[in-house]
Structure 1
């Protein structure tokens, strides 16, 4: 954690296609949950933040503006993906989803 606290954890699930994992921390301490926006609540022109730890760097943050929503994987030339994407100019390096 940002204060130096270390917890043991177990991997609950992983989705390599979208670069995300679900971890269960082992602690009796009550932790604060991060509230996420509902799907579909992002609009073109809004500011966004990318948080992460790409390439083994710690606490990387970049900002940008949403330029398109619901870009299809096919439109982006990505085969075998069924997701839609948010287009932004925020710098998103592989591993940003593993953020702080």
Structure 2
């Protein structure tokens, strides 16, 4: 499991914003992942996505890495933010946009 944790740690540390999701941004494979992508797109930030359906080690490993049982999972500047419900609550309250601005996350091109 430590190899998976090392891979996850590298993904989270090398990218300002990482979304572990089912599917891809162009073809999400579940409603929660689709909603998470829509929120990030509305925020206008650059992000990396990881399709957990393509790698079972990542799919299982991310759950213990974050101590969070569901996917999608959002990380910003190495910090676990939460899943799509938390993203939605934060977005609707303006907290997600504020956090992204405070952390000076790069804008999407």
TM-score, normalization: structure 1? 0.25
Larger Rg: 1
If each structure's strand is expressed as a fraction of its own residues, which one has the higher value?
A: 1
If each structure's helix is expressed as a fraction of its own residues, which one has the higher value?
A: 2
Q: Whose RCO is larger (CA < 8 A, sep 6+)?
A: 2
TM-score, normalization: structure 2? 0.24
